[in-house]
Amino acid sequence: MTTALKTRTGLALRGVTLTYPDGESRLTALDAVSLEVAPGEFVAVAGPSGSGKSSLLAVAATLLRPDSGEVLVDGRDAGTLDDRSRTALRRERLGIVFQQSNLLASLTAVEQLLVLESVRGGRPKAARRRAEELLESVGLDAAKRRRRPHQLSGGERQRVNIARALFGEPSVLLVDEPTSALDHERGEQIVDLLTRITREHGTATVMVTHDRALLGRVDRVLEMRDGRLR
């Protein structure tokens, strides 16, 4: 499905509560969290360790089901979907860049993107062109696009992760601590890249970060404290 055919309204969380088992009782990781991110908007979520940032991303990514509340991706309520439809929603609408890169060690940068396409059964030539273009647009030249993860720097690997997340033309881009393994300057470059992607691809982008120095570069900053967002 091409972007033009997708109705895009971005991401909305409404009154989302998530608990984890905690001995005899339960720990509230997200406490009635509401959030709206529009297409083309770049929002950062900051907050101390353990405040619920990763839980928020996991719920938005439809990887965890909240105890209550709604998660809407382009207006579709993930909670009403069965597992199969939820997987399809994730594949077609969500781009996810998690903290620990899960690039496959034996594949080149281009192949990291194409492996998804072979699962989808798309046209190989068009897919290869698109993979090359996406990697170029995140700053990897032709030689680097032929390298495997261990032959790339941390920042370059993060660029491959981002390009891979964009491959399915997501409406919503979820990014967890993209700069944690990078020095400050490279961290800024990644955030600037995410800003450009958000504008050019019209994604509703949510980035979790510890690095407060980066917060001036996004459209809106939300603070997470004890599972609450403000």
Ligand X SMILES: Nc1ncnc2c1ncn2[C@@H]1O[C@H](COP(=O)(O)OP(=O)(O)OP(=O)(O)O)[C@@H](O)[C@H]1O
Which residues sit at the interface with ligand X, rule CB under 6 A? 20, 27, 29, 47, 49-55
Structure tokens at 188: 């800024």
Which of 104, 101, 110 has the alpha carbon at shortest distance from 142? 110
Distance CA 129, CA 3 (A): 17
> DSSP string of 45-103?
EE--TTSSHHHHHHHHTTSS--SEEEEEETTEEGGGS-HHHHHHHHHHHEEEE-SS---
Return the number of the residue (48 or 75) whose C-beta is nearest ligand X.
Answer: 48
Closest approach of ligand X to the CB of residue 51, in Å: 4
Please, which residue, 114 or 208, has the CB nearer to ligand X? 208
- Residue 169 beta carbon to ligand X: minimum distance, rounded to whole angstroms: 27
Task: Report the residue number, 30 or 110, with the smaller CB distance to ligand X.
Answer: 30
Shortest Cβ 29–ligand X spacing (Å): 4
- Residue 180: name the closest of 37, 49, 41 by CA: 49
Shorter beta-carbon distance to ligand X: residue 53 or 90 = 53
Residue 56 CB, nearest distance to ligand X (Å)? 7
